[in-house]
Amino acid sequence: MNKKILLGPFKQILPMTGLSLKGALVDSALPIYEDAGILITDGIISALGTFNELLHQNKGIEIFHLEGDHVALPGFVDSHTHICFAGSRAKDYALRNAGKTYLEIAKAGGGIWDTVTQTRKASQSELVKHTVKLANRHLKNGTTTLEVKSGYGLTLDEELKILRAIKEADVNTSADLIPTCLAAHMLPRDFEGSATDYLEGISTLLFPRLKEEKLTRRIDAFIEESAFSKAQIAPYFQKAREMGFDITVHADQFTSGGSEVAVAYGAVSADHLEVSTQKEIEMLAKSDVIATALPGASLGLGCGFTPARHLLDAGAALAIASDHNPGSAPMGDLLTQASILGAFEKLSNAEVLAGITFRAAAALRLADRGQLQVGYLADLSIFHTNHYNEILYNQGNLKPCMVWKKGELAFNKN
Ligand code: NIG
Ligand code: FE
């Protein structure tokens, strides 16, 4: 028996369809359904159109009737987070604001290593609980799919613990969690050997386990002076590619170089890019790599934003993600951060909304979400307002009043 439900009427539905994956977008290109409804069959969108027509064509089915003005968008996709961790780094934040740099704190034993120490002490079930709590907060704020990285374990067993926790958390939240292995986050301070030895050990011992346990299909690395160099990461990515993993890169955050590796290895995305120059921008724009801005990291560190305007003008595909993590990006509010990036970088509403919907879905290679169209998941972010412009204008302060995930009501403010 099919479960059918008609949802509406909406003042506006923004399906985010028919827009190019790459390059600049103008608001006038946004398709809009007015006085519209969405027909959902078994969690999948089966029709979109005028509410009254859908009502007429589907007599007798269940109706979820909306009172007042509502605007529907695709459920947001956050393609870069680190929400599986333990502990706080409020101390780092205070130190940074008192003048210490992120790299100075890292060198003194704080930074990522601090979270590694705290996460290693946590049990798998504690990590599951915390990850579910954060994922549910994102879900309430309209994000129905979140990527979640490991990278706070940095040994074979500890990375496995985190990736198993992400898998278990996925079962315990309505949001979809997409796991990524970030064992190449930094060289663990307690590892006896070189960076090359560490990466070699991870790729030969951990990669096959990831496949066996179906823990992830994505491999990430932090290419940076404080983490791994281009030369060190080359054989690691080579191995990942041979084994059929998708590659993604923490690139050009403090020093450039990572985006070049992303392009060379056909990465699905290059994320951060705060210090990318015209050379890197053009290289990314010519490639199929999705350039991902992480305004939450700029806000957390108090540094410049990714040159999003230049990336789009050069023809790149721009996703926007929260980078939610305890160190550089503790806020974890995608809509607020994307709105602020839009204001600073002069992005159209279409570009910002594309960055947190279908362009982010492409960065995760998910072809069933990020747009509202027949055959796609009924993942919806619904706002109590009469015009989509109000959403980014409120800079994150207008939260969704309702969130649907796979045709089920996952959050309802009323
Ligand atoms: O994306 N840049 C490296 N990794 C994270 C930060 C992780 C942390 O500080 O704990 C990031 O910003
Ligand atoms: Fe990150």
**Model confidence pLDDT, tens digit, residues 335-369:** 999 999 999 999 999 999 999 999 999 999 999 99
Q: How far apart are CA 256 and CA 273, in angstroms?
A: 8
Of 13-27, 65-79, 98-112, 292-306, the one with minimum mean pLDDT is 98-112
The closest residue, in CA terms, to atom 1 on ligand 1 is 323
Q: Which atom of ligand 1 is nearest to the CA of 300?
A: 12
Domain count, the chain: 2
Q: Are 260 and 266 in contact (CB under 8 A)?
A: no
pLDDT in tens, 154-202: 999 999 999 999 999 999 999 999 999 999 999 999 999 999 999 999 9
- Asked if pLDDT for residue 1 goes beyond 80, the answer is no
What is the whole-number distance in angstroms between the Cα of residue 328 and the centre of ligand 2? 8
Cβ neighbours of 343 (radius 10 Å)? 12
Please confirm whether the linkage preceding 9 is cis (ω < 30° from 0). Answer: yes
In SS3 terms, the chain reads as CCCEEEEEEEEEECCCCCCCCCCCCCHHHCCCEEEEEEEEECCEEEEEEEHHHHHHHCCCCEEEECCCCCEEEECEEECCCCCCCCCCCHHHHHHHHCCCCHHHHHHCCCCHHHHHHHHHHCCHHHHHHHHHHHHHHHHHCCEEEEEEECCCCCCHHHHHHHHHHHHHHHHCCCCEEEEEEEEECCCCCCCCCCHHHHHHHHHHHHHHHHHHCCCCCEEEEEECCCCECHHHHHHHHHHHHHCCCEEEEEECCCCCCHHHHHHHCCCCEEEECCCCCHHHHHHHHHCCCEEEECHHHHHHHCCCCCCHHHHHHHCCEEEECCCCCCCCCCCCCHHHHHHHHHHHHCCCHHHHHHHCCHHHHHHCCCCCCCCCCCCCECCEEEECCCCCHHHHHCCCCCCCCEEEECCEEEEECC
Mutate to test the pocket of ligand 1, among 96, 112, 117, 305 (most ligand atoms within 8 A of CB): 112
Question: Which CATH number do you get for residue 168?
Answer: 3.20.20.140
Within this chain, do residues 187 and 147 fall inside the same structural domain, yes or no?
yes
Within this chain, do residues 64 and 85 fall inside the same structural domain, yes or no?
no
Within this chain, do residues 38 and 152 fall inside the same structural domain, yes or no?
no
Question: Which CATH number do you get for residue 377?
Answer: 2.30.40.10
Within this chain, do residues 405 and 336 fall inside the same structural domain, yes or no?
no
pLDDT in tens, 361-409: 999 999 999 999 999 999 999 999 999 999 999 999 999 999 999 999 9
Q: How far apart are CA 284 and CA 231, in angstroms?
A: 20
Our answer on whether the CB atom of 186 is closer than 6 Å to any ligand 1 atom is no
What is the whole-number distance in angstroms between the Cα of residue 33 and the centre of ligand 1? 39
Within this chain, do residues 347 and 406 fall inside the same structural domain, yes or no?
no
Our answer on whether the CB atom of 326 is closer than 6 Å to any ligand 1 atom is yes
**Which ligand is located closest to the Cα atom of residue 301?**
1
Q: Are 96 and 105 in contact (CB under 8 A)?
A: yes
Give backbone dihedrals phi and psi of 132, rounded to 5 degrees, phi first. -65, -40
The residues facing 176 across adjacent strands are 145
Within this chain, do residues 175 and 300 fall inside the same structural domain, yes or no?
yes
Within this chain, do residues 94 and 157 fall inside the same structural domain, yes or no?
yes
Tokens in use for 264?
A: 């060379």
Within this chain, do residues 289 and 238 fall inside the same structural domain, yes or no?
yes
Within this chain, do residues 40 and 104 fall inside the same structural domain, yes or no?
no
* Mean pLDDT of all residues in 266-292: 98
What is the whole-number distance in angstroms between the Cα of residue 48 and the centre of ligand 2? 36
pLDDT in tens, 296-316: 999 999 999 999 999 999 999
- Asked if pLDDT for residue 2 goes beyond 90, the answer is no
pTM: 0.98
Q: Are 39 and 10 in contact (CB under 8 A)?
A: no
Our answer on whether the CB atom of 116 is closer than 6 Å to any ligand 1 atom is no
Give backbone dihedrals phi and psi of 404, rounded to 5 degrees, phi first. -115, 140
Tokens in use for 162?
A: 């985190």
The predicted pLDDT at position 109 comes to 82
Q: How far apart are CA 414 and CA 402, in angstroms?
A: 8
Cβ neighbours of 337 (radius 10 Å)? 30
What is the whole-number distance in angstroms between the Cα of residue 343 and the centre of ligand 2? 22
The predicted pLDDT at position 107 comes to 84
What is the whole-number distance in angstroms between the Cα of residue 303 and the centre of ligand 1? 14
Longest CA pairwise span in the chain (Å): 70
**Which ligand is located closest to the Cα atom of residue 186?**
1
Within this chain, do residues 59 and 146 fall inside the same structural domain, yes or no?
no
Within this chain, do residues 276 and 295 fall inside the same structural domain, yes or no?
yes
Mean pLDDT, the chain, integer: 97
Of the residues 323, 340, 363, the one at which a domain ends: 363
What is the span of the domain harbouring residue 314? 77-363
Of the residues 330, 346, 363, the one at which a domain ends: 363
Our answer on whether the CB atom of 325 is closer than 6 Å to any ligand 1 atom is yes
What is the whole-number distance in angstroms between the Cα of residue 25 and the centre of ligand 1? 30
Within this chain, do residues 46 and 121 fall inside the same structural domain, yes or no?
no
Of the residues 326, 341, 363, the one at which a domain ends: 363
The predicted pLDDT at position 102 comes to 84
Q: Are 364 and 317 in contact (CB under 8 A)?
A: no
Give backbone dihedrals phi and psi of 320, rounded to 5 degrees, phi first. -125, 125
The closest residue, in CA terms, to atom 9 on ligand 1 is 327
Our answer on whether the CB atom of 274 is closer than 6 Å to any ligand 1 atom is no
The predicted pLDDT at position 209 comes to 98
